[in-house]
């Protein structure tokens, strides 16, 4: 069936009908936009304001020649209008409506036609205003708003796409839903809030001193009750039309309010804060989702480009954000502890916030983060609740691998989801040993996310020899080990970061590491503590290299975590000839911390010792930039693991450095770089935060400008990278790219 849109007839020329007519006329969706209303004054206003091309005073005449009929009358009037137009309806005419409820519109059509015509496509624009009437018509009302179509299984597909096309022409986003789901979702998200606003204003208005109350009502009251100015007749109709769904939402809300009331009666701060922090974070989560900036959204929706020009030198003192690995672990272990844990120096990045959100979803009350401070109300080893849906972990491999272990020991099922990059990273390396412990865990066909974990499994401790050096796998097994019967033993070939071991000890867990073998008995209780998280050496690494390769630089990076299982970058850079010293050395919660002082000094190519690979694994992108700036050849061998990070980092670095004129040879998992002069280039970030930042540092010594595309992933570990880099003297700026989603 094909449709030539000649005439669109809008019945009911009020706010919605008038706005649709105006938008369709402006976009020339049809040859003629015709308006009909029971009130002829409205038709005249529509003509006077050029909202419609033609006005009709005879429904029959207008219906006979219409290609599309839009019912924009109150839902209660639907049946009467359909009855009036039925005798004149042509076979090819497509009918749609705009009613706020859908079950009753379908019932009306059923009553009039006996069965639902295949050309009847119900719809609902999720846009409106407290105003009504044609004089308020606004042709931008639907732009960037959603319109839900609720076609039936028997509906004609081309009729559905014609109506979808009509709404898209107004700038709306068109979705489809089934009728029951529509009425359920709208009862919760639109009908209940309107009723609460009406009820609150009505309740306060009945108070004796209501004039006084309203006089002092602040912005919050005004914002919350704005919708109480909506059309009473329309809302009366909506309440009757969607009675069951609205009643069930009112009951839900009443139960929630009763819980809050009880908490206030008892002075139960934890429950109150629980409600408020969960609501606050859920609200922020929704806002971010809607604006496309959350970790739950693909980052390319809000893409930025970095531009870097050669730096004069890096000077002064800077601070980089808190350690990412420790931030994740502190939230996880704090949540499992008994009592309240206070964190400072927490990294507020997309990745660590994904972990915070996951624990909030499992019922843990977490206040903050606010300027790096977080307060976690621990629930004990067995106090987590089943989350309401899958846990979305964005780009964070640490969250997914560690949580796989932690959740294997719970009494509920969970599913872990990630973004596209995380979904392609190997999860079997943690799933496989967890199964040996008795966990029931499955991964996708390619061994990645979604990861599904069944609850109620009895875990028993294993003695496990790690085939791959991975701190995440080790940590996942230790967290599962807290729930396993017996003593968990993990034998590691190469040293990997040991923050989990140190942090568990901070929370009172007895655990030993002897000759690379970690042993931990189960059945231990974790006790809340206070932790000061040092600056992340992986973020400091970019500035360590930048200062080392830019002549005249003299830079101090304050209070960096220099745990020997992480400080391989310092050893490698020193072997290359860098001038690095550590000052103000101290220990925070068992973690060594120091100011890292770097001065420029010419670098030489080296063979990077194999034993330093696992303790500098995340820093290789920027170490390879140092190699590009050094005299001679640098060899880095046996780093196949780099292919499984947020991107294939061997490929990403090779391609980028080649574009900048550097000689890079890759043989299997070995890389050989001959230092030289870097030239300007346009570089792909491979959607990888560390690749992006590494090339920003390469840009500081390039002859021409370096442009790095798709840089928003930097927020996964170092949201203020550009600002900190500018402070240190790097000539970098970012620009928003116009990328459509
Ligand atoms: P409105 O401004 O009051 O417009 C409704 C128009 O329909 C009025 O001009 C009304 O005339 C006319 N009308 C009533 N019964 C009629 C009949 N039997 N035959 C012909 N015309 C008739 O209302 P609206 O806000 O546009 O709402 C219209 C529809 O849109 C409703 O179904 C509502 O559920 C839906 N909707 C509204 C919003 C919103 O925020 N307003 C949002 C989404 C969907 P009178 O003035 O003589 O009554």
Confirm or reject: Cβ of 35 under 6 Å from ligand 1.
no
Q: Cis ω on the peptide bond leading into residue 369 (within 30° of 0)?
A: yes
The verdict on the CB of residue 304 being under 6 Å from ligand 1 is no
Residue 740 is predicted with a pLDDT of: 32
For the 302-318+535-738 domain, the top CATH level (class) is alpha beta
Q: Where are the beta strands (DSSP E) in 16-72?
A: 32-36, 54-56, 68-71
Residue nearest to atom 39 of ligand 1 (CA): 128
User: What is the C-alpha to C-alpha distance for residues 688 and 525, in angstroms, rounded to an integer?
Assistant: 38
pLDDT of residue 286: 65
CA atoms within 13 A on the CB side of 128: 23
Among 53, 498, 618, 687, the active-site one is 618
Length of the chain: 741
* DSSP element (H, E) containing 206: helix 192-206
CA of 233 to the centre of ligand 1 (A): 10
Do 652 and 645 contact (CB within 8 A), yes or no? Answer: no
CA 230/CA 194 separation, integer angstroms: 8
Token pair of 234, please? 């329309």
* 255-to-264, 275, 371 alpha-carbon distances in Å: 14, 13, 34
Q: Verify whether ligand 1 is closer than 6 Å to residue 9 (CB atom).
A: no
CB 699 within 8 A of CB 706: yes
Ligand 1 mean position, distance from CA 36 (Å) = 12
Q: How far apart are CA 697 and CA 61, in angstroms?
A: 72
**The pLDDT of residue 288:** 54
Contact indicator for 416, 403 with CB cutoff of 8 Å: yes
**φ, ψ of residue 202 in degrees (nearest 5):** -65, -40
How many Å lie between the centroid of ligand 1 and the Cα of residue 81?
A: 12
Q: Is 530 in the pocket of ligand 1 (CB under 6 A)?
A: no
CA of 250 to the centre of ligand 1 (A): 26
* Residue 153 exposure: Cα atoms within 13 Å on the Cβ side: 0
* Token pair belonging to 506: 């901070």
Count helices and strands (H / E) in the chain: 26, 32
351 exposure class (CB count in 10 Å sphere: 0-12, 13-18, 19+):
buried
Tokens of 404: 């796989």
List the structure tokens of 532. Answer: 């000061």
Helix, strand and coil in the chain, % to nearest 5: 45, 20, 35
Q: Do domains 302-318+535-738 and 324-532 have the same CATH topology?
A: yes
Domain at 185-267: CATH architecture:
Orthogonal Bundle (1.10)
- d(CA 332, CA 358) in angstroms, rounded, equals 9
User: Rounded distance, CA 80 to CA 91, Å?
Assistant: 20
Backbone angles phi, psi at 552, to 5 degrees: 85, 0
Residue nearest to atom 33 of ligand 1 (CA): 99
Give bridge partners of residue 594 from the DSSP assignment: 560
Q: What is the pLDDT of residue 200?
A: 92
| Pocket mutation for ligand 1, best pick of 13, 20, 37 (most atoms within 8 Å of C-beta) | 37
Does the domain formed by 324-532 have CATH 2.60.40.1930? Answer: no
Catalytic site residue 618? yes
Q: Ligand 1 pocket, 99 CB below 6 A?
A: yes
Kindly state if the Cβ of 621 falls inside 6 Å of ligand 1.
no
The answer to whether the beta carbons of residues 161 and 76 sit under 8 Å apart is no
pLDDT beneath 70, residues of the chain? 1-4, 216-219, 285-302, 737-741
Query: Would the CA dihedral through 199, 204, 206, 210 be positive or negative?
Result: negative
For 139-208, strand residue ranges (E) read 146-149, 173-176
Of 10, 11, 12, the residue with max ligand 1 atoms within 8 A of its CB, to mutate for a pocket test, comes to: 12
Q: 113: which 2 tokens?
A: 């036609």
In 10 A of CB 584, how many CB atoms? 11
Is 363 close to ligand 1, i.e. is its CB under 6 Å away? no
What is the CATH class of 5-177? alpha beta
Residue 727: alpha-carbon gap to chain centroid = 29
Please name the residue that has the structure tokens 């959100």.
357
Residue ranges covered by each domain of the chain:
5-177, 185-267, 302-318+535-738, 324-532
């Amino acid at each position: 069936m094909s449709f030539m849109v000649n005439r669109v007839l809008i019945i009911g020329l009020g706010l919605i009908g008038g706005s649709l007519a105006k938008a369709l006329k402006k976009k020339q969706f049809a040859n003629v936009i015709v308006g009909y209303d029971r009130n002829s004054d409205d038709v005249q206003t529509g003509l006077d304001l050029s909202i419609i091309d033609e006005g009709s005073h005879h429904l029959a005449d207008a219906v006979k020649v219409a290609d599309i009929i839009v019912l924009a009358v109150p839902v209660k009037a639907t049946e009467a209008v359909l009855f009036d137009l039925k005798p004149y309806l042509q076979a090819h005419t497509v009918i749609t409506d705009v009613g706020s409820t859908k079950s009753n519109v379908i019932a009306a059509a059923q009553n009039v036609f006996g069965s639902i015509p295949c050309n009847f496509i119900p719809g609902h624009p999720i846009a409106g205003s407290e105003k009504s009437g044609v004089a308020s018509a606004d042709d931008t009302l639907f732009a960037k708003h959603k319109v839900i179509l609720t076609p039936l299984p028997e509906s004609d597909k081309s009729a559905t796409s014609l109506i979808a096309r009509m709404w898209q022409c107004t700038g709306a986003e068109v979705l489809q839903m089934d009728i029951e789901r529509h009425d359920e979702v709208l009862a919760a998200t639109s009908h209940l809030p309107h009723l609460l606003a009406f009820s609150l204003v009505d309740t306060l208005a009945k108070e004796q001193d209501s004039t006084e109350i309203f006089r002092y009502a602040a912005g919050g009251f005004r914002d919350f009750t704005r919708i109480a100015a909506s059309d009473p007749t329309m809302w009366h109709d909506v309440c009757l039309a969607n009675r069951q769904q609205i009643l069930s939402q009112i009951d839900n809300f009443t139960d929630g309010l009763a819980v809050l009331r009880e908490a206030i009666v008892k002075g139960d701060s934890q429950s109150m804060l629980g409600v408020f922090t969960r609501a606050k974070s859920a609200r922020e989560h929704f806002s971010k989702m809607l604006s496309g900036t959350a970790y739950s959204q693909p980052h390319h929706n809000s893409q930025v480009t970095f531009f870097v020009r050669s730096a004069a030198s890096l000077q002064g003192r800077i601070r980089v954000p808190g350690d990412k690995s420790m931030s994740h672990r502190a939230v996880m272990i704090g949540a499992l502890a008994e009592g309240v844990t206070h964190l400072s120096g927490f990294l507020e990045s997309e990745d660590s916030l994904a972990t915070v959100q996951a624990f909030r979803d499992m019922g843990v009350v977490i206040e903050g983060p606010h300027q790096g401070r977080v307060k976690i109300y621990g629930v004990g080893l067995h106090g987590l609740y089943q989350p309401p849906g899958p846990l979305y972990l964005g780009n964070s491999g640490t969250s997914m691998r560690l949580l796989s272990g932690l959740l294997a020991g719970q009494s509920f099922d969970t599913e872990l989801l990630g973004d596209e990059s995380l979904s392609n990273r190997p999860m079997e390396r943690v799933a496989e040993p967890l199964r040996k412990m008795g966990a029931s865990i499955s991964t996708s066909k390619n061994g990645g996310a979604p990861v599904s974990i069944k609850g109620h499994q009895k875990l028993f401790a294993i003695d496990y020899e790690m085939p791959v050096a991975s701190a995440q796998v080790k940590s996942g097994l230790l967290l599962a080990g807290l729930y396993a019967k017996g003593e968990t033993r993990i034998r590691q070939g190469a040293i990997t970061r040991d923050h989990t071991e140190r942090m568990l000890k901070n929370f009172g867990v007895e655990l030993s590491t002897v000759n690379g073998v970690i042993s931990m008995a189960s059945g231990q209780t974790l006790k809340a503590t206070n932790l000061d998280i040092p600056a992340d050496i992986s973020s400091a690494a970019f500035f360590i290299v930048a200062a080392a390769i830019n002549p005249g630089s003299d830079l101090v990076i304050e209070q960096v975590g220099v745990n020997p299982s992480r400080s391989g970058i310092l050893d490698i850079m020193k072997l290359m000839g860098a001038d690095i010293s550590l000052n103000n050395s101290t220990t925070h919660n068992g973690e060594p911390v120091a100011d890292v002082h770097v001065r420029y000094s010419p670098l030489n190519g080296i063979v990077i010792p194999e034993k330093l690979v696992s303790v500098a694994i995340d820093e290789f992108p920027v170490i390879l930039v140092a190699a590009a700036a050094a005299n001679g050849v640098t060899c880095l061998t046996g780093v196949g693991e780099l292919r499984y990070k947020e991107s294939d980092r061997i490929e990403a670095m090779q391609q980028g450095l080649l574009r900048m004129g550097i000689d890079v040879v890759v043989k299997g998992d070995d890389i050989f770089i001959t230092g030289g002069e870097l030239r300007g280039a346009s570089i792909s970030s491979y959607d990888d935060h560390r690749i992006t930042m590494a090339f920003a540092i390469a840009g500081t010594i390039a002859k021409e400008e370096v442009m790095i595309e798709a840089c928003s992933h930097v927020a996964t570990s170092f949201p203020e990278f550009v600002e900190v880099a500018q402070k240190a003297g790097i000539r970098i700026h970012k620009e928003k790219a116009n990328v459509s989603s």
